Chains A and B, each alone.
Chain A
Amino acid sequence: MSAAGEITGQDRSILHLEEMVLNMGPQHPSTHGVLRLVLHLDGEMLISVDPVLGYLHRGFEKLAENRTYLQYLAMISRLDYLSGIFMEWSYVRSVEALMDIEVPKRAEYIRVIIGELNRIISHHVAIGDFMLNLGAVTPFFWVFRDREDVMDMLEMVTGQRMMYNFMRVGGVRWDLPDAFETDCRKFLKEFPGRIDEYEQLITENEIFLSRTLGMGIIKPYEALDYGISGPNARAAGVDWDLRREVGYSVYPEFDFDVPLGLHGDCFDRYKCRIEEMRQSVRIVEQALDSLCGGPVNLKLPPMLRPPAGDLYRAVESPRGEFGVYLVSRGGLRPWRLKLRDPTFSAISMIPKLTPGYKIADVVAICGSLDLLMGGVDR
């Protein structure tokens, strides 16, 4: 030790005070897929973190240039596999806008119903995984029990549990089956009670509160600066929801609230998702009430040839703004397709959010951001 009392040079290595580099992932149960975090640690305290992406890179954008507009539809719900409907929706919207197609009203209602049910199961996974990251196993089984009910309904409608391939340019694949409405209404009646159960189990739990309150705070201006959207931004107090601001599809007809957080910490992000599930229930109820008759899709030629042009269409996916930028030069295949994924921006904020916390808190912060690598790596 030097005279001034500082620990320097050789002493640091004798005392093992030097920085330690630890790889978290790519196969780590708390990284939601294959995210690798290179942690630089001082003891258990985090100095800096470098996220490494690309382990799930499948070249979605290049593959689009090689397929017709309809062939690509079968792929795109594999992108973000927990909320496939929204990926399809935003792609289909961009092609429809490019070709100037008006979608039948009934198809729009069906899209909203399926989309909001998809949002509920996506938030189920977000909350269940977040709890699992914090070491609570019971909530995971509770949300997955309820998730199964919704998945059964989605399977009844689309034929698949996760990779729906249900949207079509100009509508949806087929009409709702007869048994769907009774099943859905039964679920909507029961579900708010089950959300109350989650809240009893989680929101009032003291361990949960001490792990999440004041952790990983995102300020509103930081959220905008980093391009964070969706529940993560709304938890920080950014009052922005594309369903309300842009009002695409038939959303302007429905009455729903946009839940906002106060502090932007892990707890607010969790709470925002819980409240969004309640709002989704409200929207599905209203959509079922106003469901009108008529066709569910348009007769279009099998080979779509949109006119030359470029445009950007976004939807509010469970993780935030999911957008598709489409360039057509008049051919049978897209010239360029860019997929804007909300989680990509959320991960870019981890190096800013986590330094100064312990490893266990890094796991909590990553869990609360609801990361999903399928959309990030594309």
Chain B
Amino acid sequence: MTAEVLKLTAPEVLEHARELLGKLALDLIISDWHVVIEVGPEDLPEAALRLRDDKKLSCKYLSTIIGVDYEEWMETLYMLRSQDHSVPVRLRVKLNREQPEVPSVAYIWSGANWHEREAYDFFGIQFQGHPDLRHILTREDLDSFPLRKDARPHRKRRRSGQVTGIEEPVRLPGEPDKRERS
């Protein structure tokens, strides 16, 4: 479906990225025609700069920054694209869940500023060196990070005796009962 419009194929992009990043890349895979590159948090700005300024890859367009909470660890994903080839590149950074910290890339892509604020807002990921790390979508006095799997309700609702932030979903047929498991 997509193969005929690509000027560079995903394996070519992967090989070039492997040369370009060298030891910075911990892992490179092709997942669903996206090239996924895993880097360590401390190497992120260097890898991002190289991907942006490289003539062949030229990932000048940051589509979004995504935070994911996997309960055991956290992740931030940087969805990059280039105008010159249509292979999306995805930078993946695994974070320590107890203390999620990652350097900001707001000075590399201006658009990252707000996407990082959003990831901070929902997951509490601290973007070091961010010019203006404030809440963006939720209220300013919120003392919990709502998209974490262990999110607590707002203190007003806590006082009224509610334990979790959201209602427990109704158990569906075929779904294991959480109470039996514990």
**A residues apposed to B, CB below 8 Å:** 53-54, 57, 59, 61-62, 66-68, 97, 221-222, 224-229, 238-240, 244-248, 252, 303, 310-312, 314, 321, 323, 325, 327, 331-333, 335-336, 338, 340, 344-345, 347-348, 352, 377-378
Partner of B139, one of A54, A221, A246, A325: A54
- Evaluate contact between A238 and B169: CB separation under 8 angstroms: no
B137–A345 CB distance below 8 A: no
Least distance between B60 CB and chain A CB atoms (Å): 4
Please tell me which one of the listed residues B114, B122, B167, B174 contacts residue A61 in the complex, with CB atoms under 8 A apart. B122
Q: Render B58-76 as a binary contact track against A, CB cut-off 8 A, 1 for contact.
A: 0011111010111000000
Task: State whether B86 touches A245 (Cβ < 8 A).
Answer: yes
Are the C-beta atoms of B146 and A348 separated by less than 8 Å? no
Q: List 28 A-B contacts (CB under 8 A).
A: A53-B137, A57-B137, A57-B138, A61-B122, A61-B147, A62-B147, A62-B151, A66-B167, A68-B172, A224-B83, A227-B62, A229-B63, A247-B4, A303-B174, A310-B31, A312-B88, A312-B90, A314-B63, A321-B63, A325-B64, A327-B68, A332-B175, A333-B169, A336-B68, A336-B69, A338-B66, A344-B118, A348-B110
Q: How far is the CA of A191 from the CA of B6 in the complex (A)?
A: 34
Contact in complex: A239, B83 (CB < 8 Å): yes
Chain B nearest CB, measured from A348 CB (Å): 4
Add 20 more A-B contacts to A225-B60, A325-B64, A344-B115 (CB < 8 A).
Answer: A53-B137, A59-B146, A62-B146, A62-B151, A66-B166, A66-B167, A224-B60, A225-B110, A227-B62, A229-B61, A239-B83, A246-B2, A248-B1, A310-B68, A312-B90, A323-B64, A332-B172, A336-B68, A336-B69, A340-B64
Q: Which residues of A contact B115 (CB under 8 A)?
A: 227, 344
A112 to chain B, nearest CB (A): 14
Main secondary structure of the interface of B (DSSP, over half): loop
The size class of the interface chain B forms with chain A is 35 or more
A62 and B172 in contact, given A226-B110, A227-B111 (Cβ under 8 angstroms): no
Q: A225-B111, A332-B174 are in contact. Are A238 and B139 (CB under 8 A)?
A: no
Which residues from B are CB-within-8-Å of A238?
83
A55 and chain B: residue at smallest CB distance: B137
For the complex, give the distance between the alpha carbons of A303 and B174 in Å.
9
B167-179 near A? 1/0 per residue, CB < 8 Å: 1010011110000
Task: Specify which chain A residues have a CB less than 8 angstroms from the CB of B137 in the assembled complex.
Answer: 53-54, 57, 377-378
A325 CB contact (under 8 Å) in B66, B69, B110: B66
Give CA–CA (A277, B64) in the complex, Å. 27
Q: Find residues 119-148 in chain B having any chain A CB closer than 8 Å to their own CB.
A: 122, 135-139, 146-147
Label chain A's interface by main secondary structure. Answer: mixed
Contact of B2 among A54, A247, A327, A332 (CB under 8 A): A247
With beta carbons under 8 angstroms apart, the residue of A53, A244, A377 that contacts B5 is: A244
In the bound complex, residues from chain A placing their C-beta under 8 Å from that of B109 are 225-227
- Interchain CB contact under 8 A, B111 and A226: yes
Please give, as numbers and ranges, the residues of chain B lying within 8 Å of A240 by CB-CB distance: 83
Name the B residues within 8 Å of A323 (CB-CB): 63-64, 79
Chain A residue, CB-CB nearest to B175: A332
Q: Which residues in B have their C-beta under 8 angstroms from that of A347? A: 114
Q: How far is the CA of A54 from the CA of B142 in the complex (A)?
A: 13
